[in-house]
């Protein structure tokens, strides 16, 4: 026999359960008066278990991706490479990045996100080690391309994985916890890179050790991920039966509601107007972000004439601001249930701040200040943006759309770093390339504002989901 507990839950909970399979010390089911607290506590329990670990994996991923920007302070001189070659090599990563985006997202949705995340980490760790042994531009291009191929499956798999665990009301905060790795990887990685660039061990220059010491953790943590992550809430032995049931039911209810509102096949999702607008928005935002992020140490070195260590410390400051605004904007977006302006305003502000950085000219303090505003604003964009994407579609259609948006969008990571040295060789100044990045940020905001009304509203605003515990929790706040 089953009984139904009252309130908005309307759950059918078994009278008798096997308590030996559940962690002790937590109540097994909510009552009428504490269902909202149960929902919040269960969501936080899942977040405490998963988000710090995924954050650590993304730190490693981003260090492996962006260590080439620090290596660019010494590697070109050591290998005789021009700025144009280094910019092209950095950008080629994103050509390779196209390859496994959609397949990786579909594998995470249909098969095992846990196994996919683990093995792509091991693969890109070994390829990052190969970067320490390149000697020519051709080898540089080839290894960077395959690092991009290997890493391509990681990000979309994690975004899809988070949709298996967090309902839409909590998703921007969950994404912000994961995405915090981006700005903090610069904060952590920049001073480490500055120290490593000054060493020479076993006859190898510091930039080569940079790749070796940042490739090994990817291999180790990829193997750890196999045992630590859990694919689905129903498989989580670290949750009680009631907690497993609640998460699974909430995610299933949201998916069913999305299907009733908008049921698209994979091919229809990839051709959908709003998916294309979101893809263009992301392309322009990423082009601006990577253009600034990759060349910021070089720009600051030319302005300040300081040592590599001082330059990498200065280059880390903008990302501290980025972390703070990212967390606040995600929290505020979830609290207000608004996504569109929380995505568009940050990139508009980034464009305006970058224009002011150009206007500051050779003033080092003003340049650092405005570049700090650029990054601080931009990192507020990401969690709200991906919350829009995951709320718009569900299932395989959402996985394919995430892969498409991230793959085409990340081609901006090829364009941004390449445009600056390309225009510099013609105009003899970085300013024209930076103006291109200003335009990219502003266009990103315009595309976001063009996204249809059905995407701008969260499921709660649209009345798509039943009020349930999520509604009680929102009122409790």
Mean local confidence (pLDDT), 5-11: 34
Of the listed ranges 97-101, 133-137, 236-240, the least confidently predicted one is 97-101
- pLDDT at residue 336 above 90? no
Give pLDDT tens digits for 26-41: 545 444 446 778 888 8
pLDDT band at 464 (very low <50, low <70, confident <90, very high): very low
pLDDT band at 183 (very low <50, low <70, confident <90, very high): confident
- The top-scoring range by mean pLDDT among 53-62, 91-100, 163-172, 455-464 is 53-62
Task: Provide the pLDDT for residue 262.
Answer: 60
Give pLDDT tens digits for 372-396: 899 889 988 988 898 887 777 666 7
- pLDDT at residue 274 above 90? no
- The top-scoring range by mean pLDDT among 143-147, 222-226, 259-263, 425-429 is 222-226
Q: How far is CA 392 from CA 160, 343, 413, in A?
A: 13, 15, 25
Mean local confidence (pLDDT), 42-53: 92
- How much of the chain exceeds pLDDT 70, in percent? 83
Task: Provide the pLDDT for residue 53.
Answer: 95
Mean pLDDT of the chain: 79
**What is the 3-state secondary structure of the chain?**
CEEECCCCCCCEEECCCCHHHCCCCCCCCCCCCCHHHHHHHHHHHHHHHHHHHHHHHHHHHHHHHHHHHHHCCCHHHHHCCCHHHHHHHHHHHHHHCCCCHHHHHHHHHHCCHHHHHHHHHHHHHHHHHHHCCCCCHHHHHHHHHHHHHHHCCHHHHHHHHHHCCCCHHHHHHHHHHHHCHHHHHHHHHHHHHHHHCCCEECCEEHHHHHHHHHHHHHHHHHHHHHHHCCCCHHHCCCCCHHHHHHHHHHHHHHHHHHHHHCCCCHHHHHHCHHHHHHHHHHHHHHHHHHHHHHHHHHHHHHHHCCCHHHHHHHHHHHHHHHHHHHHHHHHHHHHHCECHHHHHHHHHHHHHHHHHHHHCCCCHHHHHHHHHHHHHHHCCHHHHHHHHHHHHCCHHHHHHHHHHHHHHHCCHHHHHHHHHHHHHHHHCCCHHHHHHHHHHHHHHHHHHHHCCHHHHECHHHHCCCCCHHHHHHHHHC
Q: How far is CA 142 from CA 90, 129, 185, in A?
A: 11, 13, 25
- pLDDT at residue 133 above 50? yes
Among 204, 188, 183, 207, which Cα is nearest to 308's? 207
One of 1.20.1250.20, 3.40.50.720, 3.20.20.70, 1.20.1560.10 is the CATH number of 46-464, namely: 1.20.1250.20
Query: In the chain, where are the structural domains located?
Result: 46-464
Task: Provide the pLDDT for residue 110.
Answer: 84
Of the listed ranges 46-55, 66-75, 229-238, the least confidently predicted one is 66-75
Mean local confidence (pLDDT), 283-301: 83
């Amino acid at each position: 026999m089953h009984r139904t507990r009252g309130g908005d839950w309307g759950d059918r909970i078994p009278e008798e359960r096997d308590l030996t399979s559940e962690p002790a010390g937590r109540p097994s089911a909510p009552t009428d008066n504490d269902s909202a607290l149960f929902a919040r506590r269960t969501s936080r329990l899942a977040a405490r278990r998963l988000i710090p670990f995924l954050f650590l994996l993304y730190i490693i991923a981003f260090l492996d991706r962006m260590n080439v920007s620090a290596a660019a302070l010494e590697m070109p001189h050591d290998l005789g490479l021009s700025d144009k070659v280094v910019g092209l090599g950095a950008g080629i990563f994103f050509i390779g990045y196209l390859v496994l985006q959609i397949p990786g997202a579909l594998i995470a949705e249909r098969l095992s996100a846990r196994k996919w995340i683990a093995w792509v980490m091991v693969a890109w760790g070994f390829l990052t080690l190969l970067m320490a042994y390149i000697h020519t531009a051709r080898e540089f291009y080839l290894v960077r391309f395959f690092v991009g191929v290997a890493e391509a499956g990681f990000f979309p798999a994690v975004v899809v994985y988070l949709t298996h665990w967090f309902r839409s009301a909590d998703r921007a905060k969950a994404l912000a916890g994961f995405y915090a790795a981006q700005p903090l990887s610069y904060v952590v990685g920049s001073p480490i890179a500055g120290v490593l660039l000054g060493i020479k061990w076993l006859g190898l220059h510091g930039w080569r050790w940079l790749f070796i010491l940042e490739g090994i953790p990817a291999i180790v943590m990829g193997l750890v991920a196999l045992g630590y992550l859990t694919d689905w809430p129903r498989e989580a032995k670290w949750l009680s039966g009631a907690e497993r049931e609640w998460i699974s039911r909430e995610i299933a209810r949201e998916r069913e509601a999305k299907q009733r509102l908008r049921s698209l096949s994979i091919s229809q999702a990839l051709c959908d107007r709003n998916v294309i607008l979101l893809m263009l928005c992301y392309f322009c935002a990423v082009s601006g972000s990577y253009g600034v992020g990759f060349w910021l140490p070089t720009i600051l070195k030319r302005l300040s004439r300081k040592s590599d260590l001082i330059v990498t410390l200065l280059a880390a400051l903008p990302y501290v601001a980025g972390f703070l605004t990212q967390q606040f904007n995600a929290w505020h977006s979830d609290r207000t249930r608004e996504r569109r302006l929380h995505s568009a305003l940050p990139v508009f502000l980034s464009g305006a701040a970058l224009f002011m950085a150009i206007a500051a000219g050779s003033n080092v303090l003003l340049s650092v200040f405005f570049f700090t505003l650029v990054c601080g604003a931009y990192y507020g964009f990401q969690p709200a943006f991906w919350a829009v994407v995951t709320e718009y579609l569900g299932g395989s259609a959402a996985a394919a759309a995430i892969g498409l948006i991230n793959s085409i969008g990340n081609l901006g990571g090829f364009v941004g770093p390449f445009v600056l040295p390309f225009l510099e060789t013609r105009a003899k100044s970085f300013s024209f390339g930076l103006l291109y990045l200003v335009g990219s940020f502003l266009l990103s905001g315009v595309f976001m504002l063009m996204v249809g009304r059905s995407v701008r509203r969260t499921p709660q605003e649209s009345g798509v989901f039943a009020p349930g515990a999520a509604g009680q929790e929102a009122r409790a706040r």
